[in-house]
């Protein structure tokens, strides 16, 4: 079946570092991917919509200069957390939908980001 | 406002027992409802998917129900196993934002031996 792969699964780094997270659709083309942030015992919160070949669309309150999104191909979107600080520590999850529509939506396995 | 409320927030049961998780919603309209299982530190994995016109859907030991009149959905787990320990999230395709989804906060289920 369709699979979405995220890499890395866990990152620990010092404050001020920029961290890049990759999201790949392994066996299908995804014109649209989504990036979520999840705090412990909370639901997934949509951060941005990543569109292949165009600029990402950010949700209200999400700093686009802080969370850089690039969707350079139909199978890869990247999220870069720039100059990360401890408050950026969270679980980041991506998802992708099939080219023809919104079903099904597949989630990656998430990336745990810990900023010291 | 489209909302999804899940209950209980946390649940602890003994291995082998059955349990039922609840999801009350005000999302309208919606195309389908999914129940996801999210293991700690992992992404959500789909268990069941139902359209708004379906009442029940099973996947092994998991059975989801949908009552459009009371705006309630439930996920019943039969003969629980230790590997069932996870968060269970109900998600509606509808009423949401750019991703088209409305998420519940999930029920954290712990299965004790």
A42: DSSP letter: S
Question: Which residues of chain A are within 8 Å of residue B101 when distances are taken between CB atoms?
Answer: 46, 105
A to B CB pairs, distance under 8 Å: 53
Cβ contact B99–A105 (<8 Å): yes
In sequence order, the β-bridge partners of residue B113 are none
Is the model's pLDDT at B100 over the cut of 90? Answer: no
Cβ contact B43–A107 (<8 Å): yes
| Cα(B48)–Cα(A104) distance, integer angstroms | 12
Strand duo B4-7 + B19-25: pairing:
antiparallel
> Could you tell me which chain A residue has the CA closest to the CA of B98?
A49
| Cα(A111)–Cα(B49) distance, integer angstroms | 25
CA angle B38-B43-B45, nearest 5°?
60
Question: Which residues of chain B are within 8 Å of residue A102 when distances are taken between CB atoms?
Answer: 93, 100
**10-residue block means of pLDDT along chain A (116 residues)?**
85 95 89 91 91 89 94 91 95 82 76 95
Query: Comparing A68-72, A86-90, B45-49, B91-95, which segment has the lowest mean pLDDT?
Result: B91-95
| Cα(B101)–Cα(B104) distance, integer angstroms | 10
Reading the block at residue B51, the tokens are 């359209």
Mutate to test the interface with A, among B43, B59, B95 (most CBs of A within 10 A): B43
């Amino acid at each position: 079946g369709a699979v979405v792969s995220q890499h890395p699964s866990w990152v620990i780094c010092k404050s001020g570092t920029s961290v890049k997270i990759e999201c790949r659709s392994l066996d299908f083309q995804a014109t649209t991917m989504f990036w979520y942030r999840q705090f412990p015992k909370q639901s997934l919160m949509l951060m941005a919509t990543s569109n292949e070949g165009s600029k990402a669309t950010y949700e209200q309150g999400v700093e686009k200069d802080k969370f850089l999104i690039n969707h350079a191909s139909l199978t890869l979107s990247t999220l870069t957390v720039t100059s990360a600080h401890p408050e950026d520590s969270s679980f980041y999850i991506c998802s992708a939908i099939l080219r023809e529509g919104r079903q099904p939506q597949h989630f990656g396995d998430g990336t745990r980001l810990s900023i010291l | 406002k489209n909302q999804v409320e899940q209950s209980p927030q946390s649940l602890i049961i003994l291995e082998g027992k059955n349990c039922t998780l609840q999801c009350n919603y005000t999302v309208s309209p919606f195309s389908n409802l999914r129940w996801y299982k999210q293991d700690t530190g992992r992404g959500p994995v789909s268990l069941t998917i139902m359209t708004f016109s379906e009442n029940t859907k099973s996947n092994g030991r998991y059975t989801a129900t949908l009552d459009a009149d009371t705006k309630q959905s439930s996920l019943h787990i039969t003969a629980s196993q230790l590997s069932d320990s996870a968060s269970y999230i109900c998600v509606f395709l509808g009423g949401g934002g750019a991703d088209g989804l409305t998420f519940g906060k999930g029920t954290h289920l712990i299965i004790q031996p």
